[in-house]
Amino acid sequence: MKKTIKLMVNNLDLYVTIAQEVKNNIEKFSPFKIELVTVDWAEYVERLNNKNYDIVISGWIGDFFDPYSMLYIWHSDSSYNYSGFSNKRYDELIRSSQNIDNYPTRYETLYKAEKIILDEICIIPLYHYRLPLLVQKHLVKKLLFSPLGIINFATMESQKEVLKFESRK
């Protein structure tokens, strides 16, 4: 008999679709049966805070363009560490990375921290967000994105005065 694992997911359509695919793949390639637990946002957050789940699908977008933004959430003291993951070596690497001025050395330190998370299977990265966007090139001359995918409308230049309205008499 297969052991059942409950997979908690927010009830948004996108996340339910992703959870269904994860469920299918786990059941296909492992000895586990997955029960999807779909909850609204309030219950999702409450259960995360109380660590009331077996496994969970969750997302994170870095606040700034640096690996630290993605890695600090797994630090023992992070308020976003809903998993309860705790590793003294990991915490030391994350803390020490903030005092390293040499980028190659700092990134090597953060790489070592990331390896701990992946080796201990604290998280299983599934995908990166994409921003599907249609742009009419004949209207937009310059459209810049930050490395985090944020559109910088302040620097946008258009080919034509797109938003100019003329009154018709």
**pLDDT over 80 at 69, yes or no:** yes
Top-confidence residue, 161 or 19: 19
142: Cα separation from own chain's centroid? 28
Rounded mean pLDDT of the chain? 85
CA distance 73 to 60: 9
pLDDT single digits (tens) 143-169 = 777 766 677 777 766 665 555 555 555
Q: Where are the beta strands (DSSP E) in the chain?
A: 3-10, 32-39, 55-56, 140-145, 151-158
pTM: 0.70
Instruction: Examine the pLDDT at 35 and tell me if it is beyond 60.
Output: yes
Residue 66: predicted pLDDT? 85
- Kindly give the interhelix angle for 88-97 and 103-119, rounded to the nearest 10 degrees: 160
**Which phi and psi (to 5°) does residue 95 adopt?**
-60, -50
What is the reported pLDDT for 129? 66
8 A C-beta contact, residue 90 and residue 113: yes
What CA–CA distance (Å, rounded) separates 91 from 120? 14
- Give me 140's structure tokens: 């937009």
What confidence tens digit (pLDDT) does each residue in 89-147 have?
999 999 999 999 999 999 999 999 999 999 988 888 787 666 666 666 666 667 777 76
Grouping H, G, I as helix, E, B as strand and the rest as coil, residue 147 is coil
Q: What is the pLDDT of residue 136?
A: 66
